[in-house]
Amino acid sequence: MKINWGTGIVIAFVLFISFILYFVLKVQSDSKYDNDLVVEDYYVHDMGFSDEMKRVQNAHDLKTRPEINLTDAGVKVSFPESFSEKHIKGTVTLYRASNKKLDFVSDIKLENSTMLITDQKLIQGVWKVNMEWEYEGKKYLTKEEIYVH
């Protein structure tokens, strides 16, 4: 049977479209390729973007800033000694862009101006750390990225 060039082009198109549809259906049906958003209500989240930038700027303008470091024991959050522990309120959010099931939030509870988030919850990889905190009525936002070995 002889196939002319027109039939060959149609067969090539059908094979190509079948190939693309196979991968689209595989990605949509397999939970391994989870494509959730990082933030559930991203429209609401983006509406407060200017407020977020103001809090980031407040943190940046501090002469001595809190530090977020990875230690052998876990993630250590250290506030400068000039801050009164009683007046610091807020949360530390650790999240993984690759898997939202690993995300968690810890309230800021300081001992000697430091807080330790143990490494039991941290698996290897890149973690984004957002610390939203308030000191004497002024709101701050500190963002860091750490890599757990």
pLDDT, one tens digit per residue, over 25-49 is: 988 887 776 666 566 677 776 777 8
Mean pLDDT along residues 140-148: 93
Q: Report residue 98's pLDDT band, with 50, 70 and 90 as the boundaries.
A: confident
User: How far apart, in whole angstroms, are the C-alpha atoms of residue 121 and residue 96?
Assistant: 12
**Pairing state of beta strands 138-148 and 125-135?**
antiparallel
pLDDT digits (tens, 9 = 90+) for 55-76: 999 999 999 999 999 988 889 9
pLDDT of residue 138 exceeding 90, the answer is yes
**Radius of gyration, alpha carbons of the chain:** 24
Residue pair 91/77 in contact (Cβ under 8 Å)? The answer is no
Residue 123 per-residue DSSP state: P
User: How far apart, in whole angstroms, are the C-alpha atoms of residue 149 and residue 147?
Assistant: 6
Strand arrangement of the beta sheet that strand 104-107 belongs to: 104-107, 88-95, 125-135, 138-148
Mean pLDDT along residues 11-30: 92
Q: Which tokens in the block code for residue 54?
A: 């103001």
Burial (CB count within 10 angstroms: exposed 0-12, middle 13-18, buried 19+), residue 77? buried
Q: Where are the alpha helices (DSSP H) in 30-129?
A: 42-47, 49-60
Q: Where are the alpha helices (DSSP H) in 2-139?
A: 5-29, 42-47, 49-60
**Res 36: pLDDT:** 63
Mean pLDDT along residues 9-35: 88
Query: Which has the higher per-residue pLDDT, 46 or 112?
Result: 112
**Res 2: pLDDT:** 83
pLDDT of residue 20 exceeding 90, the answer is yes
pLDDT of residue 121 exceeding 70, the answer is yes
* Phi, psi of 81, rounded to the nearest 5 degrees: -60, -20
Q: Extract long-range pairs of 61-64: CB within 8 Å, 24+ residues apart.
A: 62/140
Mean pLDDT along residues 103-110: 92
% of the chain surpassing 70 pLDDT: 93
